[in-house]
Structure 1
Amino acid sequence: MTHADIRTLDQSRAKHVWDVEEYCRRTGIHKAEEKRLIKVLGRYASSHELQMNIVRPQSRIR
């Protein structure tokens, strides 16, 4: 493994990684769904991964 100097990294390509528990708490996701997300994604995930794996209850529009 090689050492990377943090000052030379491109900040525009960096991804924000969330703690799944914190993300669920902030967005109001139920505890059961939080546990499922932790099983699927692990303890940390990007916001895109979280959004694509959240199962929301269907709303009855009609």
Structure 2
Amino acid sequence: MRHMDIRKLEKFHAKHVWDVAEYCRRTGLHKTEEQRLIKVLGRYASSHELQMNVVRPQTRTR
């Protein structure tokens, strides 16, 4: 892990990092999906990583 001086960071470099369990609870994902995401991404991930790796069940539209 690389350490950075906080005073030198700019706002556009910052990413919001979620606790995967909290993200799953807020979005209503099932426990098995939460466990799969933790295996794939670890305990913490960015919102983009979470959105790209969530597998939602297909619903029939017809």
Does TM-score exceed 0.5, indicating one fold?
yes
Residue segments in structure 2 that go unaligned for 5+ positions in a row = none
2:3 aligned with 1:6, yes or no?
A: no
Q: TM-score, normalised by structure 1?
A: 0.89
Q: Deviations over 1:13-54 (max 9, x none)?
A: 211010000000111100010000000111100000001100
Q: Counterparts of 2:20 and 2:14 in 1: how far apart (Å)?
A: 18
Residue segments in structure 1 that go unaligned for 5+ positions in a row = none
Runs of 4+ in 1 over 6 A off after TM superposition: none
Q: TM-score, normalised by structure 2?
A: 0.89
The total of aligned residue pairs comes to: 62
Pairwise CA RMSD: 1.7
Residue 22 of structure 1 is matched in structure 2 by 22
